[in-house]
Amino acid sequence: MTPQNENYAGASSAAGTNTPTLARRLTLVSAITVVIGSIIGSGIFLTPQSIAATIQIPGIMIFVWILTGILTLAGALTNAEIAGLVPEAGGQYVFFRVTFGELTAFLYGWTTFIVYQTGSISAVAVAFAHYTGYFIHLPHLDPALEAWKLPLIGNIHPFNNIGVTMVAIAAILFLAAVNYFGVQFGGFVQNLFTFLKVAAIAGIILLAFSSGKGSTAHFFPLWGTPSSGALLGAIGIAMIATLWSYDGWNSLTYLAGEVIEPQRNIPRALILGTVAVIIIYVLTNLAYLYILPINEMAASKLVAADTMERIFAGYGGAIISAMVMISTFGTVNATSMTTARVYFAMAKDKLFFNALGEVHPKYRTPTKSLVVQAAWASILTLTGTYNQIFTYVIFAGWIFYALGAAAVFILRKKMPDAPRPYKVPGYPYVPVVFIIVATWFVFNTIVQQTADSMVGLLLVAAGIPFYLYWKKVNTMPQRH
């Protein structure tokens, strides 16, 4: 490993010789666990029942999981080419800066900070806290105080369910501290919890199919027309939930400045990790469906718990609660570790608070970026529900996913002779299909959930004044 490979800061602004920089310490195995850990959170435990209720036909339900998995893989294959070409900390933020310029890159980073990834951290931490309440009594405040809402800022009840909120915030702050003390330490925690969550899900699958308490008849019919709404519309609505469950596949690119041999290992990890998750998700849904017929899945509030309760009466809720806690804790860690590098890269480009571009001299991590991210995610935890946050997150995110895929075509023309250790297979068809489906998904979301979509668009557009501010501040002559 060359000194450059070890110490490269992974941002566009070169660091001075005495300035601490990010270090390349993450192995291929750790990179794969980051991909798996970033994707598998609470979604596979919380969303299958809503998809069953929307689709109502077993074969189409499984088809939706496979379809969105293939779509996610197409995105991973496409992003892998750019990640090999531009292996810098900040991931898609850097891709957008190189391809579309600073404004698009800033709006991506802005959206990531305001709601996209910090909202994901908040939502998944709240899910962790809810399931913690299965084992520990979480306190409540006086009903009148819990019912109080902030004036003039919508329907926000900061003291509602305060016990869950405090546990969620404690998890966010604890994992920020874990990642403060080095990417290797954070990577070790990630490896551990990814192994535990995969083992737990494998246990659900094996127990379901070996229990003798299910039936393959539950897999039929394979096709038909949903009882309400058009087929495409129903699939589009269901995809909002499944895409949430698959979201996070690109988080590894944020850590590109700290992965050993990034040109080779990042594409490998993106592809292997995404394929592993597709297999896990499809098998898990088949396991649920084997135990519970589609109508029972649709009526369930917690399908994973009901599945285990059918197998182990009296213990199902406890088993699944423990599994969800492991899974969500690992996802909060992965998202916290990776996303802080986006703000670090923005600060190095002087498009965010300058202090966030600093690296700790001992731990070689963007510590201030981690702290600010944890603080904002904690504030978001006080302001919204799981469903509200995830709708905003998915809509805004997929606009940028489509742009990210389009970047492959632009960079092939813009940088035709640049070395590409990995090229997307099936070019141009794979990225074209991804762009088409992503665009349709965005359009369908606007039609089906217009109000939430407009909120997402306003959140993105709200970044423009801040971009102009930072551009002005950083182009003004400095006083001496």
Q: Say what the pLDDT of residue 6 is.
A: 36
129-162 pLDDT, tens digit per residue, is 988 988 998 988 888 887 787 776 667 677 788 8
376-387 pLDDT, tens digit per residue, is 999 888 876 445
- Can you give the residue ranges of every domain in the chain? 3-16+25-473
CA distance 251 to 254: 6
Answer with the residue of higher pLDDT: 449 or 16.
449
Distances from the Cα of 346 to the Cα of 11, 115, 315, 332, 404, angstroms: 8, 16, 48, 22, 17
Q: Say what the pLDDT of residue 432 is.
A: 94
b/e 171-202 (16+ beta carbons within 10 angstroms → b)? bbbebbebbbebbbbbbebbbebbebbbebbe
pLDDT at 312 over 70: yes
Q: Say what the pLDDT of residue 392 is.
A: 65
Answer with the residue of higher pLDDT: 469 or 20.
469
Q: Say what the pLDDT of residue 389 is.
A: 59
pLDDT at 2 over 50: no
DSSP assignment of 404-431, as one string? HHHHHHHHHHHSTTS--S---TTTTHHH
436-446 pLDDT, tens digit per residue, is 988 887 887 78
Q: Say what the pLDDT of residue 226 is.
A: 53
pLDDT at 9 over 50: no
pLDDT at 88 over 50: yes
Query: Is residue 402 within 8 Å of 435, Cβ to Cβ?
Result: yes
- 3-16+25-473 sits in which CATH class? mainly alpha
Kindly report the pTM of this predicted structure: 0.85
Q: Mean pLDDT throughout 384-397?
A: 63
Q: Say what the pLDDT of residue 8 is.
A: 35
The answer for residues whose C-beta is within 8 angstroms of residue 467's C-beta and 6 or more apart is 102, 103, 106, 107, 110, 351
CA distance 298 to 300: 6
Residue in 380, 328, 310 with CA at minimum distance from that of residue 115: 380
Q: For residue 177, give both structure tokens.
A: 């501290």
CA distance 79 to 77: 6
pLDDT at 50 over 80: yes
DSSP one-letter code for 26:
B
Q: Mean pLDDT throughout 93-122?
A: 92
Query: Is residue 196 within 8 Å of 325, Cβ to Cβ?
Result: no
Q: Say what the pLDDT of residue 343 is.
A: 95
Q: Say what the pLDDT of residue 11 is.
A: 40
Q: For residue 392, give both structure tokens.
A: 């905003």
Q: Say what the pLDDT of residue 477 is.
A: 61
Q: Mean pLDDT throughout 87-106?
A: 92
Q: For residue 310, give both structure tokens.
A: 């059918």
172-202 pLDDT, tens digit per residue, is 999 999 999 988 888 899 999 999 999 999 9
